[in-house]
Amino acid sequence: MSNQNLGLETQAIRTQLERTQYLEHSVPLYLTSSFIFEDAEDMRASFAEEKERNIYSRFSNPNTFEFVEKICLMEGAEDGYAFATGMAAVYSTFAALLNSGDHIVSASSVFGSTHTLFTKYFPKWNITTSYFDVNKPETIENFIQPNTKILYAESPTNPAVDILDLELLGKIAKKHNLILIIDNCFATPYIQNPIQFGADLVIHSATKLIDGQGRVLGGVTVGRSDLIREIYLFSRNTGPALSPFNAWVLSKSLETLPVRIEKHCENALKVAEFLENHPNVASVKYPFLKSHLQYEVAKRQMKLGGNIVAFEIKGGIESGRKFLDKIKLCSLSANLGDTRSIVTHPASTTHSKLTEEERLAVSITDGLVRVSVGLETVQDVINDLKQALE
Ligand SMILES: Cc1ncc(COP(=O)(O)O)c(C=O)c1O
């Protein structure tokens, strides 16, 4: 269907299903729950997996196949499976690969629901997790136990935009024979390919920048084919599959991912530079600002800095809340990676149930504001932030 030697933009656009007899230019939507068979033998052989064949859309669907194929090419992965949401991808990946008694070593700052999975649900099945400080990667090996199976991290992290050295994680995983899984949601396959640095699996919440317009939910896991086979078998039976409609939307979205990301990142850098010079801002975190603690690592592993800027507003929780109240153009929303710029204040919203100490352990200070920089005229976004900061 497509060529591994093509450029990433061409892969995102020209990877498409075979045309039907109608010779459509753009791929149609296969909104069908099941597929038919020629005869009993065709049906038997399909179920026996002697043929590559769509049977039922919980297992596979042409639109889902196309979406996964594109992500595999763009991430340099062997195979993949697409899910209804990013969290379905995270949950199913772990659930498929882990057994009772296994142990995970995870970065301390991971997406809230992922953290809840590790702390609240996995212990029910005797799966435990240890956390290493994202800013002390040299301590990772201290947490590895004989029963550790997975090393897990996001880079950049949500919401504090910390950066993990993927090459280092790759080396540690190899040395200890661990499965390295990276949530690449903030970077997208355009900015960073964790498999190049030794990741075995890469997860995306496609709801974010892959869709890019805040319309549909989706998730995907790609990587080593032996691991994807386990994930596929688990998912085929448990049912977290991506809907064909969402797969169709997401595959179309990928066609414009490279140009969107270029502009998102150009805008985000301008916003970060503006914030860095504002008197009411204590500090700014953006991977491609020289002041970022892991600037050198970011430059090594990322093509661009991403669209998320985190900053510390002077005055703590109260200032953060006041800032949100004064915002006019940007949206107050839980999503990110949309064409529309979005601001959030984790300490008073998503992470308000944590104690200050717990928040600090995951790099969330009281005045931390996260901006998902969109595709509006960047000066309008800057003007909005400026008036809200004053
Ligand atoms: C880093 C990261 N991983 C996973 C998810 C979960 O994705 P979804 O909302 O599509 O389930 C999110 C959502 O914000 C996220 O930011």
3-state SS, residue 42: helix
* Rounded distance between C-alpha atoms, residue 366 and residue 319, angstroms: 9
Name the closest-CA residue to atom 8, ligand 1. Answer: 86
Name the closest-CA residue to atom 2, ligand 1. Answer: 111
Distances (CA, A) of 56 to 29, 86, 241, 249: 15, 22, 11, 20
3-state SS, residue 183: strand
* Rounded distance between C-alpha atoms, residue 340 and residue 214, angstroms: 9
Atom of ligand 1 nearest to the CA of 334: 14
With a CB cutoff of 8 Å and minimum separation 6, the contacts of 320 are 313, 345, 347, 348, 366, 367, 368, 369
Name the closest-CA residue to atom 7, ligand 1. Answer: 86
CA of 101 to the centre of ligand 1 (A): 26
Name the closest-CA residue to atom 10, ligand 1. Answer: 86
* Rounded distance between C-alpha atoms, residue 82 and residue 310, angstroms: 30
Domain ranges in the chain? Answer: 8-30+61-255, 257-389
3-state SS, residue 316: helix
Are residues 185 and 203 in contact, defined by beta-carbon separation less than 8 angstroms?
yes
CA of 41 to the centre of ligand 1 (A): 42
Atom of ligand 1 nearest to the CA of 185: 1
| DSSP bridge partners of 107 | 132
Distances (CA, A) of 280 to 251, 273, 312, 326, 341: 42, 14, 9, 14, 20
DSSP E strand boundaries for 133-242 = 148-154, 179-183, 201-205, 219-223
CA of 38 to the centre of ligand 1 (A): 41
Terminal alpha carbon distance of the chain: 54
Pocket of ligand 1 (CB under 6 A): 85-87, 90, 111, 154, 158, 183, 185, 205, 207, 217, 219
Name the closest-CA residue to atom 6, ligand 1. Answer: 86
CA of 20 to the centre of ligand 1 (A): 35
Atom of ligand 1 nearest to the CA of 219: 10
In this prediction, residue 350 carries a pLDDT of: 77
Name the closest-CA residue to atom 9, ligand 1. Answer: 86
Tens of pLDDT along the chain (390 residues) come to 446 889 999 999 999 999 999 999 999 999 999 999 999 999 999 999 999 999 999 999 999 999 999 999 999 999 999 999 999 999 999 999 999 999 999 999 999 899 999 999 999 999 999 999 999 999 999 999 999 999 999 999 998 999 999 999 999 999 999 999 999 999 999 999 999 999 999 999 999 999 999 999 999 999 999 999 999 999 999 999 999 999 999 999 999 999 999 999 999 999 999 999 999 999 999 999 999 999 999 999 999 999 999 999 999 888 999 999 999 999 999 899 999 999 999 888 877 777 788 788 777 888 999 999 999 999 999 999 999 999
CA of 111 to the centre of ligand 1 (A): 7
CA of 204 to the centre of ligand 1 (A): 8
CA of 87 to the centre of ligand 1 (A): 6
Atom of ligand 1 nearest to the CA of 90: 4
Distances (CA, A) of 319 to 89, 207, 349: 36, 30, 14
How do beta strands 79-83 and 219-223 pair? antiparallel
CA of 119 to the centre of ligand 1 (A): 17
CA of 157 to the centre of ligand 1 (A): 11
Atom of ligand 1 nearest to the CA of 110: 1
Domain 8-30+61-255, CATH 3.40.640.10 — does that match? Answer: yes
Closest CA to 222 of 339, 75, 40: 75
* Rounded distance between C-alpha atoms, residue 73 and residue 96, angstroms: 23
Are residues 152 and 181 in contact, defined by beta-carbon separation less than 8 angstroms?
yes
Query: Considering the domain 257-389 in this protein, what is its CATH number?
Result: 3.90.1150.10
In this prediction, residue 317 carries a pLDDT of: 87
